[in-house]
Amino acid sequence: MKDNIKKDFLTLKDYSKKEILTILDMAKEIKTDPGKYKNILKDKNIALLFDKPSTRTRVSFEVGINQLGGHCLVLDSKNLQLGRGETYADTAKIFEAYLDGIVIRTFKQETIEEVSDKCSIPVINALTDSFHPCQILADLQTLMEKKLLFKKNLKFVYFGDPNNVSNSLLIGFTKLGIDITVCCPGLLKIEDSLMDYLAKETAENKNTIFIENDPLKAAFGADVIYTDAWISMGQEEDKEKIEMMKPYQVNGNLLKNAKNDIKIMHCLPAHREMEITSEILDSNHSIVWEQAENRLHAQKGLLRYLYYK
């Protein structure tokens, strides 16, 4: 239903360091004492609309909304009139009339921005081709739990295709003033518009973004290596990229140069023996399952921030 003070979660660009840390604090409190927050979404109806597959985001939002006392509706665009050509803009007006919030996973970032413009209920980005901000909240929470987030001289390296996850990592780390390295083939570039935005933000937040094309150099001395699928959802035709990405696989050889206590992160789903070997994914260095569990807690923190404060 209409809310005059709606706040969206479309990209971390719209959030300050203070706001991100507040959400992480809220997530930590909820994780520690879930019973205390079991009614904070009472009488709230929040829908999930996913145009791409999802396991973690879909299930964790549905469970999280229920655990906070809200009601969750899982919608499928193929079975809505969207599937027959009704526009997102018109659909947004209908959502506004019935719902208190909408969580959307879709292709274009512009689609969720259009939905947000057309309705006065909070809109949450559950992944677009450009950004995946909910994932990064869980990643930051996991790094905080491991006491790595504000570690002096932290070397955090994202290995792989510059994509929605790395875009949001770059924004999140920059907002917090933490250095980050992206290791990818020279032919793959971070979008110019994002680089322009980051150039201004890094100057303000005093962090550095390093781009490294040599995997062994990037892994050298790393505290954390993070990877993601080489081919994101919706890019399945881009088969050439797989050959280009092979030297960037996170495997035992790569980790020879890293620290003994290196942590391995992956947003999942993993494509075993592609971007990461099972040897590494299932090793003691891997914190991917804690990361995945934190999707639930971090999103509950976000919902508390958006609806309850």
Nearer to ligand NVA, 37 or 159 (CB): 159
Does position 130 interact with ligand CP (CB under 6 A)? The reply is no
Answer for the pair 138, 295: CB distance below 8 angstroms, yes or no.
Answer: yes
Compute the distance between CA of residue 85 and CA of residue 55 in angstroms, rounded to an integer: 26
Answer for the pair 263, 223: CB distance below 8 angstroms, yes or no.
Answer: yes
Does position 232 interact with ligand NVA (CB under 6 A)? The reply is yes
Residue nearest ligand CP, CB atom distance: 57
User: Which amino acid type is present at position 299?
Assistant: Q
Task: Name the residue among 217, 174, 234 with its Cα closest to residue 54.
Answer: 234
- Asked about 119 being catalytic, the answer comes back as no
Stretch that binds ligand NVA, among 178-186, 227-235, 240-248, 282-290 (CB under 6 A): 227-235
97: enclosing H helix or E strand: helix 88-98
Q: Which of these is catalytic: 67, 228, 249, 266?
A: 228
Residue nearest ligand NVA, CB atom distance: 232
Residue 229 site contact among ligand CP, ligand NVA, none (CB < 5 to 8 Å, cut-off depends on kind):
ligand NVA
183: enclosing H helix or E strand: strand 180-183
Nearer to ligand CP, 177 or 269 (CB): 269
Binding mask 146-165 for ligand NVA (x = CB under 6 A): -----------------xxx
The sheet carrying 209-212 orders its strands as 209-212, 180-183, 156-159, 224-227, 263-266
Q: Which of these is catalytic: 56, 105, 285, 304?
A: 105
The sheet carrying 101-105 orders its strands as 71-75, 45-50, 101-105, 123-125
Stretch that binds ligand CP, among 75-83, 88-96, 190-198, 262-270 (CB under 6 A): 262-270
Distances (CA, A) of 210 to 95, 190, 218, 219: 42, 12, 9, 13
Stretch that binds ligand CP, among 79-87, 151-159, 252-260, 265-273 (CB under 6 A): 265-273
Compute the distance between CA of residue 124 and CA of residue 75 in angstroms, rounded to an integer: 15
- Asked about 295 being catalytic, the answer comes back as yes
Q: Which of these is catalytic: 56, 139, 267, 285?
A: 267
- Binding ligand CP by CB under 6 A: which of 11, 57, 167, 174? 57
- Asked about 228 being catalytic, the answer comes back as yes
- What is the contact surface with ligand NVA in residues (CB under 6 A)? 127, 163-165, 228-229, 232-233, 267
Catalytic residues: 105, 132, 135, 228, 267, 295
